[in-house]
Structure 1
Amino acid sequence: MNQINDFLSVIDGFIGGSQWFVFLLLGTGLFFTIYLKFPQFRYLRHSLRIVRGKFDKEGDEGDTSHFQALTTALSGTVGTGNIAGVALAIHLGGPAALFWMLVTAAVGMTTKFVEVTLSHKYREKAEDGSIAGGPMYYMRKRLNIQLKNKKVINTGKWLGAIFAVATILSSFGTGNLPQINSIANSMFETFGLNHILTGAVLSVFLAMVILGGIKRIAKVTSRLVPIMAVVYFIGAIAVIAYNYDNIIPSISAIIGDVFTGSAAAGGFLGGSIAFAFNRGVNRGLFSNEAGQGSAPIAHAAARAHEPVSEGLVALLEPFIDTIIICTLTGLVILSSGVWSEKIENQFQSVDMIVLKGNYSETNETEKQQLADFLLEREDLPLFTGTLNVSDGEIQNQPTILHARSVAEDVKVWMNDEPYSGTIELADGNLTPGQNVTLSGKSLMHSAPLTTVAFTRSWFGEYGKYIVSIGLLMFAFSTAISWSYYGGRAVTYLFGIKGVIYYRIIYVIGFFLASFTDTTIVWTLSGITIALMTIPNLIGILSLHKEMKSEVKLFWQEWHEHFPGKNSGGL
């Protein structure tokens, strides 16, 4: 598992985890924000009128209403990114990472407006009469290159195919594997339910929903999304209000650490500016998917007579998903203080590294060495050899890092009993084939961290049930929506006949991921996000003039539809 994760991490480092990807993502959003004169602020109130059906016309073609398209797309974005992703971003980069998540959402509102508009404009009817759309369709029709001799090179066809393949991969890396993985971990943490049992039961429910197609998916998500949002909101407000004295310091840390990096606090050994920026933007994209090209697939099915109105509906997604829900999660984690607190937990092998020698957190020099090691600024020697264990206690224990913190009170277990014997390590990792687990106090991340944070309120231990139920509903609805995205990509590549085989594989993958290592799943998700996002951003940038023209035409019609009203147009 460590070798697989290391290999995936190298790939992720070149694409999704690289600085150029972050700048491409934010740069595209900033370009359209300025080019279209800040539509995310000027047009937001008009989006609400369109969602309520005020701009509809009789005979508008599509499979779903504006509200159903919005909730389907929201169910695809409101998931582990809001619960586990925020916790992971803060764990890696400190409070400043939340700031960059919010910046990503603000510019992402414009990006989503553009990609949904262009995709809706070029949607088609599938063989079964349903509406099929998404970035691959505008790519195929509009991104071809015409030479001087009028010969056309079908670059759009190949770019669309690349995007469709990436969508299928991302349906597993974004909407499938990390969702059930986080659900299973949360259910185990809260109720002690076996990971395989959770995966098996939910796989059956998933199959029952997705076999019904977009109409059944839209019907389910339009009911799930409002309920789960209310439940989560109540639980989050309870934690923040309970820890009211930490609200101002938390906000100060979010803003104050942006240009200085997050200082060491508790078990947290510090985060650099670059690390907070990169992880905040990366997790922000995972949360709201602006620029990834997934939401346009859901919005393409909406009943609308012209594309910009549906693009305006999509403006609401990053606002609800990241600016509201992720901010709530971030304040819960920061105000409760659990982000820098060492908590008893079972160690995951890919989050653990054993160093040669001992390093003390009370020694400032050694503490800085550990921080530089975790921030990849400095190498430290790793332990290779044999460690003796007696009744669960490691004799002459070297420094063990788990979840980017110095582990304390480490115990070794075998079959739920304290272990006595020896353990073998190579380059800081347990060698394969040893049936032992380690536990102790360390920092936590992802869904388990948010789960602990929700217990720091008047609800006490009952607070973790809010996270577990919320995560179950959030993540399960995300898996439902992404099955539709992947199915539309399969339709584009192979026709409608290939969808049933894709859905079978999707359900099987959903089950298997319920007991797969969390860190590997998150690394894979970062890669698949980038594989979708890059061709989509190139595509919408190429069509910027067409987008501006569509917006002008829309406001002319809006003025005719609502005479005397402020059009908000260009």
Structure 2
Amino acid sequence: MSVISRIFVFFAALLAATGAQAQSLDETINGLFESSTGWYVDLIFANFPGTEVPWIVGWLVIGAVVFSLYFGFVQFRWVGHSIRLVKGDYSDPNDAGEVSHFQALATALSGTVGLGNIAGVAVAMSIGGPGAMFWMILAGLLGMATKFTECTLGVKYRNEFPDGSVSGGPMYYLTKGFKERGLPGGTFLAVGFSVFTLLGALGGGNMFQVNQAHQQISGVVGEYPGWITGIVFAVIVGVVIIGGLKSIARVTEKVVPFMGILYVLAALVIILANFDQIGIAFSRIIEGAFTGLGVAGGMVGALIQGFRRAAFSNEAGIGSAAIAHSAVKTKEPITEGFVALLEPFIDTVVICTITALVIIISDQLVTDPETGLFVVENGQIVTQSGATGVALTSDAFATAFSWFPIVLAVAVVLFAFSTMLSWSYYGLKAWTFLFGEGKGKELVFKAIFCFFVVIGAAASLDPVIAFSDAALFSMAIFNVIGLYFLMPLVKQELRKYSEKLRSGEIRKVK
């Protein structure tokens, strides 16, 4: 019997054996998790004094604006060259590194394009209304410059080992870059970033993914305890992550384009079938961005949710993508910065917008027929089915295709799986930075990662997404501080690369 067959047999046996006692296990796990993380979430999302704006959201927005201005809106001026790099026009297979530009982009996208686009958009809109999508798009466009900065530094200061493997990311450019500039505090920032990267890997890159995968699966096959899904995912993820980054890159290189195309095509079918509603949908997005259309907090509420969910979705400023991009084969660090800036555009501007249009066009958000404002209860917009998160997106698709929740369940599992693979790598690099390289040490982290898969599936959405956000945004505290001090080094790289292109020293290889 094959491994996959054994997993399905195991899954079926667990389903047959469950009952009230199994459900109580979910409740116990959820209670322990929520009570132990609530204080941390409250700290990270505390508001600026006298405002309703969480300080961490402002932190990311200000950083994205600063990098956009400092590099002269590099995200728009160099996008053509970025695409040519991804195509491999300038790639030399003899360059140091482990994966191609395309593989590095696919690996990083597998950690960003996923349930943040499906469930995250639904969460943003159920709290902030369609207007949240306007601010998500703006955050995505600005975040392209942040991704450019951090991923250039990731390659510039990576560690290259004799066997051809590499280790890179904020923990390395914070220590090496600060030392090169004669600045203190680099090691402190690197350790802080690494600690929260471990939490981010266990939260947003693990628990949130399996939590929403379980919600969608149970919505299709019927309710059953989440810990069962957790065990099945833990087994499959545990088998794959032993292979390391090259194994992850081979999987994501095939899975990411497939699942992205599958999801986008289905969404486009719905949008095009309701072509006359597109203009109305965008008007709701724009109007809601500045008025809120009845949501809690009005414009501010929409803005906060938009920027918060955009940061969770595309991770600009978080520093995680710099870890994956550091493994690219190149001798010019700036080239991977150009490749990386495409991520927020693909992730937030394109895919998140498509999801939002489907939710709006399918009329999932309940409005008052007299005022046209959204009906809000307990701080959230009332939905037609009462669903939130991935279930809301699933209901939106089901209005056009009754069978689509099954297809979406497959897509959600693929999204969750690929994201968990990438984040297991991010977490592993932070772990080895803190505790050193070695097979034994790596296995300890992988075991911990798989254990939290089970916790994430058993816990409910609210505490999981709150912890996931807090952990990811905590990474940005240390990372963005470092980027401010190191961005002059990126500008030097940009100037040198521009000169080489003009002189013909760098030219296409195909």
- TM-score grouping bracket, smaller chain normalisation: 0.7 to 0.9
Contact 2:202 2:452 in 1 (8 A): yes
Question: Is 1:100 aligned to 2:127, yes or no?
Answer: no
More helix as a share of residues: 2
Give the partner amino acid of 1:222. Answer: E
1:461 match:
402
What is residue 11 of structure 2 aligned with on the other side? none
* In 2: Cα distance, 1:532 partner to 1:233 partner: 30
Give 2:433's match in structure 1, choosing from 479, 486, 492. Answer: 492
What's 1:386 paired with?
none
Pairing of 1:416-427 with structure 2 (within 5 A): none
Give 1 or 2 for the bigger CA radius of gyration. Answer: 1
Please state if 1:163 is matched with 2:193: yes
Aligned residue for 1:479? 420
1:563 & 1:493 partners in 2: Cα distance?
37
- Cα 1:556–1:505 change in 2 (3 A) is same
Q: Which residue of 2 aligns with 1:143?
A: 178
Q: 1:126 to 1:167 in 2, by over 3 A?
A: farther
Give the structure 2 partner of residue 33 of structure 1. Answer: 68
Supply the distance in 2 between the matched residues of 1:189 and 1:175 (Cα, whole angstroms): 22
Q: Which residue of 1 aligns with 2:289?
A: 258
Q: Which has the higher contact order (CA 8 A, sep 6+)?
A: 2
Deviations 1:283-307 (A, max 9, x none): 0000000110000000000000010
In structure 1, the partner of 2:125 is: 90
* Separation in 2, partners of 1:62, 1:305: 9
Pair 1:508 & 2:447 matched: no
Do the aligned partners of 2:143 and 2:316 also contact (CA within 8 Å) in 1? yes
Residue 529 of structure 1 pairs with residue 445 of structure 2? no
- Could you tell me which residue of structure 1 aligns to residue 233 of structure 2? 202
Alignment of 1:23-422 (within 5 A): 23-57=58-92, 59-125=94-160, 130-144=165-179, 154-192=184-222, 194=224, 195-263=226-294, 272-340=298-366, 374=378, 405=382
- 1:98-127: per-residue Cα shift (whole Å, max 9, x none)? 011101100011100010001110000358
For 2:506 and 2:159, the matched residues in 1 are separated by 32
Equivalent position SS for 2:403: helix
Aligned equivalent of 2:45, options 6, 13, 22? 13
- RMSD of aligned Cα (Å): 2.7
**Residues 208-230 of structure 1: CA deviation (Å, up to 9, x unaligned):** 11100011010000010010011
Q: Determine the C-alpha separation between the residues in 2 that align with 1:563 and 1:70.
A: 21
Superposed displacement of residue 512, structure 1: 2.4
Shift of 1:145: 10
Q: Aligned-pair distance for 1:26?
A: 1.6
Report how many residues are paired.
Answer: 469
Find the partner of 2:392 among 420, 436, 449: 449
Cα deviation, residue 563, structure 1:
8.1
Q: Which protein is richer in strand relative to its size?
A: 1
State the Cα deviation string for residues 16-72 of structure 1 (Å, max 9, x = none).
995332222122111221221111111111011111222123520001111110000
CA shift for structure 1 position 538: 0.8
Contact kept, 8 Å, 1:80 with 1:471, in 2: the verdict is yes
**1:405 Cα offset (Å):** 4.3
8 Å Cα contact 1:112-1:315 kept in structure 2: yes
Q: Secondary structure at the match of 1:212?
A: coil
Unaligned runs of 5+ in 1: 147-151, 264-268, 342-360, 376-402, 407-440, 566-570
Whether contact under 8 Å (2:500, 2:506) holds in the other structure is: no
Instruction: Tell me the amino acid that sits aligned with residue 459 of structure 2.
Output: T
Q: Do the aligned partners of residues 563 and 179 (structure 1) sit closer, same or farther apart at CA in structure 2, a change above 3 Å counting?
A: closer
Distance 1:93 1:58 in 2: 47
- On the 8 A contact 2:157/2:177 being kept in 1, the answer is no
1:8 Cα deviation from its structure 2 partner: 4.9
CA contact (8 A) 2:45 2:56 kept: no
Distance (whole Å) between structure 2 residues aligned to residue 3 and residue 134 of structure 1: 32
CA contact (8 A) 1:180 1:514 kept: yes
The answer to whether the Cα contact below 8 Å between 1:235 and 1:466 also exists between their aligned partners in 2 is no
% identity of equivalent residues: 38
Change (3 A) 1:467 1:481: same
Distance 1:209 1:273, change over 3 A: same
**Are 1:53 and 1:66, in contact at CA under 8 Å, matched by a contact in 2?**
yes
* Distance change in 2, residues 1:508/1:6 (3 Å): closer
Cα distance, 1:14–1:209 mapped onto 2, change above 3 Å = same
Separation in structure 2 between the aligned mates of residue 160 and residue 15 of structure 1, nearest angstrom: 26
1:544 aligns with 2:500: no
Q: 1:184 to 1:10 in 2, by over 3 A?
A: same
The CA distance in 2 between the partners of 1:145 and 1:557, in whole Å, is 24
TM-score by structure 2 length? 0.86
Cα distance in 2, alignment partners of residues 48 and 83 from structure 1: 25
How many angstroms apart in 1 are the aligned matches of 2:95 and 2:179? 29
Counterpart code for 2:203: G
Cα gap change, 1:165/1:127 in structure 2, threshold over 3 Å: closer, same or farther?
A: farther
SS of equivalent residue, structure 1 residue 305:
coil
Unaligned runs of 5+ in 2: 1-30
Query: Structure 1, residues 525-556: CA drift from partner, whole Å, max 9, x if none?
Result: 11101110111111111122211111001112
